[in-house]
Amino acid sequence: MNHLGTDPAIEARGVHRIFGKGRKQVDALTDVDLTVADGEFVSLIGPSGCGKSTLLRLVADLDAATSGTITVFGKTARQARLDQEYGIAFQQSGLLPWRTVAGNVELPLKLHGVPAEVRRQRVAELLELIGLTDFAKSHPDQLSGGMQQRVAIARALAESPRLLLMDEPFGALDEITRERMQNELVRICAETGAAVLFVTHSIPEAVFLSDRVVVMSPRPGRITGVVDVRADGMVPAHDRSAGARDEEGFFRAVGEVRALLHGTPEQAVAARGVDTR
Amino acid sequence: MAQIWTRFRAVILGAVGVAAVVASWDLYKALGPEQGVLIGDTRILPRTTDLAMPHSWEMLQRFTEPVTSLAGAPDAFSTVYDASMFSLGLAARGWLIGVVVGLLLALVMSRFRIIESALLPWVVLSQTVPLIAIAPLVRRWGSAVEIGGHVWTSEDSVAVIAAYLAFFPVAVGALRGLKSPEATHLDLMRAFGIGWWRTLLTLRIPASVPYLLPALRLGAASAVIGAVVAEVSIGLKGGLGRMVIDYAVAASGDPAKPWAPIFGAVAIGLVAAGAIGLLGLALRPFRLTGVAQ
Ligand SMILES: Nc1ncnc2c1ncn2[C@@H]1O[C@H](COP(=O)(O)OP(=O)(O)O)[C@@H](O)[C@H]1O
Ligand SMILES: [Mg+2]
């Protein structure tokens, strides 16, 4: 439906982000090049402080790069933000506690002048999608952490963006809820066809969800390698099922990501194969 | 169901609290030494004479008797009631002015960091000036003001002084409330592409309600105290302030009488607090703050 454009969802070229000055200077991002194709699922992984959130915030135009260019669907990041080209979700759900679940999901639509009737329909669709139809009138404090995150994701999807930006959205959830949420996210992405930039520090999560996993390292924050999960024999991210976690390609990709994170040279990685865990 | 029970229990506990105060008053009066309790030369508990401590029922009964011994004098209750309404009206005017001023101050302080740095110390300092010092100033400056043929009255002076006390908690509370949203919420508003004004309406003002309600209640109490005290400082007749002074004179012959306007002051304080309670009820959804994880 949304695959008309030839522009990639995200294109970052030579991006630097430096915080502070002098002795307190932090090179949060150094010379980052990254392309996310339309409809592609890309994860950023790396230890804390390697600049994952910073990169995501630059794409979202919540922060500005010190140098370099970022375009989103061929537009400047700022223009893309103003045009609502992306939906965003964070580790904290960021739900407004005084609004009901339905009220939170419809908030972006309301702010952008969508008529009430259209809003109502869209909210019903979205609540159906995340399986929380019965909770439309509840307030966020009546929901579990996982349910709140689902509401936050529904809100991010409200305006049918072609790009989703997610910063550790499942980071505060327990392992069981987390896997269920990952399965749901795959399904949701398949239904919407949106491109996703997903920040995490869980290796299995990154591999299971992504077409490509971008590995980063800190001081200075930079990209140290990219693992193409499809090249390891996995189907495209949108077509996966829960069983993909047991496939050989999954373990191979996990091993490659792990090797990159721990600084092993890339050539060695391919040779080591499945049983390096 | 549980909520009704909680309400009910609060009412019961409140009644028990009042009864306990009344009982300890009369018990102490009955059992305490005539001269009160002294440590060295310092009296730490009052004398228990009828003059110093009338019986609680005498103080109540006093409301039903005529104010003065003059023929045709109205009963004390209606006199105190009229004075209470007069003072409450002035306090309400002062509260309203104080709330508007306090909210505006909080708004500009939350918008411009530099104004906050410049203004906040003065806001705090303003409350250290004693009321008796500002009363004559307000009256003098007020009399120089003439807006559209409106002549400045003593009532205006009292309302302004009440406002002077009321604006402070409102300004401080509203400022904290407006600055309370988390970074995630602010990022989200920016991602939605809405500017300062709509972020204010969508996020900052609703988020400030839990901070604002206690501030408004504090402001109401300050306005009541401010109005009563200012009536004395300004020399305005008709309210509880002057009544407290006037009735104190009668203490030697009519010991229950000075207590009447004091109960009036307590009553309008309760009315003011109750009004804010109703406001809180109307704003109930906005008092939800927790997003339980
Ligand atoms: N607003 C900021 N001011 C100063 N330093 C920052 C700011 N945001 C991030 N940093 C620094 O940049 C680095 C990368 O941060 P971040 O992108 O949050 O890492 P990650 O999300 O990968 O854990 C860290 O060293 C962090 O301290
Ligand atoms: Mg982060």
* Same domain for B160 and B106: yes
B190–A90 CB contact, under 8 Å: no
Distances (CA, A) of A231 to A25, A250, B23: 39, 11, 85
Q: Which residues of B touch A (CB under 8 A)?
A: 182, 184-185, 187-188, 190-194, 198, 202-203, 206, 209, 285-293
Residue labelled with tokens 């200077």: A25
Structure confidence by residue, pLDDT tens digits, A219-239:
889 999 999 988 888 888 888
* Same domain for B47 and B143: no
Closest CA to A165 of A91, A84, A90, A229: A90
Domain that holds residue B10: 2-53
| Alpha carbon B130 to its chain's center | 17
A180 touches chain B (CB under 8 A): no
Facing residue for B192 by CB, picked from A90, A92, A111: A111
Angle, CA of B99, B104 and B109, to the nearest 5°: 125
What's the pLDDT score for residue B293? 41
The dihedral over CA atoms of A7, A9, A10, A11, expressed in degrees to the nearest 10, equals -20
Please give the mean pLDDT across all residues of chain B: 89
Asked if residue A87 has pLDDT above 90, the reply is yes
* Same domain for B191 and B283: yes
**Residue of minimum CA distance from atom 3 in ligand 1:** A19
Please, are residues B238 and B227 in contact by the beta-carbon 8 Å criterion?
Answer: no
**Residue of minimum CA distance from atom 17 in ligand 1:** A51
Q: Which atom of ligand 1 is nearest to the CA of A221?
A: 14
Tell me the two tokens of residue B2.
């549980």
What's the pLDDT score for residue B1? 66
d(CA A212, CA A205) in angstroms, rounded, equals 12
The helix/strand/coil state of B116 is helix
b/e per residue, B173-185, with b = 16+ CB within 10 A?
Answer: bbbbbbebbeebb
| Distance between B292 CA and the closest CA of chain A, angstroms | 5
A172 touches chain B (CB under 8 A): yes
Q: Does any ligand 1 atom lie closer than 6 A to the CB of residue A51?
A: yes
Q: Is B272 exposed, middle or buried (0-12, 13-18, 19+ CB in 10 A)?
A: buried
Please give the mean pLDDT across all residues of chain A: 88
Flag whether B59 is in a domain: no
Flag whether B23 is in a domain: yes
Structure confidence by residue, pLDDT tens digits, A44-75:
999 999 999 999 999 999 999 999 999 999 99
CATH of the domain at B90: 1.10.3720.10
* Same domain for B82 and B49: no
Question: For chain B, what is the domain count?
Answer: 2
CA of A54 to the centre of ligand 1 (A): 6
d(CA A165, CA A89) in angstroms, rounded, equals 6
Flag whether B111 is in a domain: yes
**Residue A9 φ then ψ, to 5°:** -65, -45
* Same domain for B21 and B152: no
- Which value does ipTM take for this structure? 0.87
Tell me the two tokens of residue A240.
């996966």
Q: Which residues of B touch A99 (CB under 8 A)?
A: 285
Closest CA to A43 of A156, A205, A188, A153: A205
**Nearest ligand to the C-alpha of residue A215?**
1
- Helices (H), strands (E): how many in chain A? 9, 10
In sequence order, the 6+-apart residues with CB closer than 8 A to the CB of A197 are A9, A10, A36, A42, A44, A56, A59, A163, A164, A165, A166
What's the pLDDT score for residue A273? 42
What's the pLDDT score for residue B196? 93
Flag whether B163 is in a domain: yes
Please, are residues A124 and A132 in contact by the beta-carbon 8 Å criterion?
Answer: no
**Residue of minimum CA distance from atom 9 in ligand 1:** A54
Whole-prediction pTM: 0.84
* Same domain for B26 and B83: no
Q: Could you say which residues of chain B have pLDDT below 70?
A: 1, 290-293
Alpha helices in chain A (DSSP H): 52-59, 77-82, 101-111, 116-130, 145-157, 175-192, 203-209, 248-261, 266-272
Flag whether B70 is in a domain: no
Kindly give the interhelix angle for B76-111 and B259-282, rounded to the nearest 10 degrees: 40
Flag whether B182 is in a domain: yes
What's the pLDDT score for residue A202? 92
**Residue of minimum CA distance from atom 26 in ligand 1:** A49
Percent of the residues in chain A that have a pLDDT greater than 90, as a whole number:
65
* Same domain for B90 and B43: no
A108 touches chain B (CB under 8 A): yes
